[in-house]
Amino acid sequence: MIWRGVLHEYRAYLPFADNVQIVTLNEGNTPLIAAPRLAQALAPGAGMKLYLKYEGLNPTGSFKDRGMTAAITQAVHEGARAVICASTGNTAASAAAYAARASLRCLVLVPEGKIALGKLAACLAYGAEVISIAGSFDDGLAMVREIVQRQPIALVNSINPWRLEGQKTGAFEICDQLGGRAPDWHCLPVGNAGNITAYWMGYKQYNRGLPRLLGGQAAGAAPIVYGRVIEQPETIATAIRIGNPARWQQALDALDESDGQITAVSDADILAAWRQLAHLEGVFVEPASAAGVAALRQQIAAAQLDPQDKTIVCVLTGHGLKDPDAAIAQAAPPHLLPAQTAALEAYLLRK
């Protein structure tokens, strides 16, 4: 069967009107990649079956496309001419792409200097109006929430319920890819907490069993873990640099219902997981995407999670090329050689 995007594929599970015109870039259908070397590194000999749901392979390079196809489809259905969002970058890039496809004006608010290069480049390429604010994501979200009360413009942040409707399809796909059942554990990064909320909705609705949820927040931006708003969140994982999550209570409910856990992981641990993903499994993600793996690693090491014979899925939320600066800053610079075979040979044989 030809894949025509998550709304066509899972239409029966989504509350759209019959006459809706679907705006899609054929998002979804991302690979669930077995990660045996990473599993062995995290839990030697435990027989853990670890899988990576590589959401960086969506059309704009993050899972946000699952929600955006739904939000833009509904916005067009309701007659919107313009959309707006606050974003750490990926929501903005996704909104910009789907808005372009639907001929909508698109405004995106991003925190000045805190948006990764690949995300900014994409927003500009898709023709969005990029507004850089001297403030945080949380400040931007407060601004867009207010403006949509005054002006006829559709809000496409994950407080828009259609975003969650689209994003819950990730849970359907995982169950389908595991042969019709949910994993034992489902690990993911948590920022605004839309995705953890959406996945839990999806697992409950699909009725193929329920996983326990494990959320990872960056230690410098962990309001849910610490139980208080973080006024100045800070982390290398810019996609989850959020101090006051819009879906805070729903995330707590999902964690509670699933008998799950949420934990803070340091930037050093996020980068260690990020490196293992690339070095051991050949999967390159942006730093935030490694927070779920970092959380899993931490919980196994602390004996808070028993990996023995468990099926565990880590959602890798965004592609590594989103944040080339972070990747380059983590590595030694390339070796410089003269353009001579002898020099290459000497390099190959060096001790």
| Residue 250 interacting with ligand PLP (CB under 6 A) | no
Decide: 191 and 241 in contact? Cβ < 8 Å: yes
Render the burial of 115-144: b for 16+ CB within 10 Å, e for the rest: bbebbbebbeebebebbeeeebbbebbebb
Contact flags string 98-137 toward ligand PLP, x per CB under 6 A: ----------------------------------------
Query: Restricting to residues 282-301, which ones interact with ligand PLP according to CB under 6 A?
Result: 286, 288-289
Distances (CA, A) of 47 to 37, 44, 125, 306: 11, 8, 45, 11
| Residue 62 interacting with ligand PLP (CB under 6 A) | yes
Decide: 161 and 216 in contact? Cβ < 8 Å: no
Block residue for tokens 């590589």: 54
Instruction: Compare residues 39 and 213 and give the one whose CB is closer to ligand PLP.
Output: 213
Q: Output the CA torsion 127→90→199→292 (10° steps).
A: 160
Given candidates 60, 90, 160, 244, which one binds ligand PLP under the rule CB under 6 A?
Answer: 90
Instruction: Compare residues 40 and 205 and give the one whose CB is closer to ligand PLP.
Output: 205
Instruction: Compare residues 210 and 315 and give the one whose CB is closer to ligand PLP.
Output: 315
Q: Which two tokens stand for residue 207?
A: 């009725």
| Residue 317 interacting with ligand PLP (CB under 6 A) | yes
Given candidates 58, 169, 192, 298, which one binds ligand PLP under the rule CB under 6 A?
Answer: 192
**Alpha carbon distance, N-terminus to C-terminus of the chain:** 53
Instruction: Compare residues 193 and 326 and give the one whose CB is closer to ligand PLP.
Output: 193
Site residues (vs ligand PLP, CB under 6 A): 62, 64, 90, 158, 189-195, 239-240, 286, 288-289, 317-318
